Amino acid sequence: KAGVTQTPRYLIKTRGQQVTLSCSPISGHRSVSWYQQTPGQGLQFLFEYFSETQRNKGNFPGRFSGRQFSNSRSEMNVSTLELGDSALYLCASTGNRGVNTEAFFGQGTRLTVV
């Protein structure tokens, strides 16, 4: 069974640009969550999608958005990039609606904003 796939693995963007990151969950998983990891703030929850609906959102500005497609694949978008958006963005998928199941993480997309 294939794991969680995130593309691309590495990305370099310029301040002010926008970026779209992609996440393909494990087959059959309907919940996809996104996290930002930085040395200063650690791992922070961005948002979670289930069956194309955003169920929960973290404390990030509106420049961070996401969506989920009918095949459960998810994308997150960051507009008007700032230097502080440089981070490892991790996607996780889980198998059902419950919170008592394991979240499977992808290898992440490392975004560098210059």
Member of 78, 92, 111, 113 binding another protein (CB under 8 A):
92
* Shortest separation between residue 92's beta carbon and another protein, angstroms: 8
Q: Which is nearer to another protein, 12 or 43 (CB)?
A: 43
Alpha helix (H) residue ranges in 1-114: none
Tokens 């996809």 appear where?
A: 32
Member of 19, 78, 90, 111 binding another protein (CB under 8 A):
90
70 touching another protein, by CB under 8 A? no
* Phi–psi pair at 83, nearest 5 degrees: -55, -35
Q: Which is nearer to another protein, 27 or 107 (CB)?
A: 107
Please tell me the distance from the alpha carbon of residue 109 to that of residue 35, in angstroms, as a whole number: 11
* Shortest separation between residue 36's beta carbon and another protein, angstroms: 11
Please tell me the distance from the alpha carbon of residue 23 to that of residue 6, in angstroms, as a whole number: 5
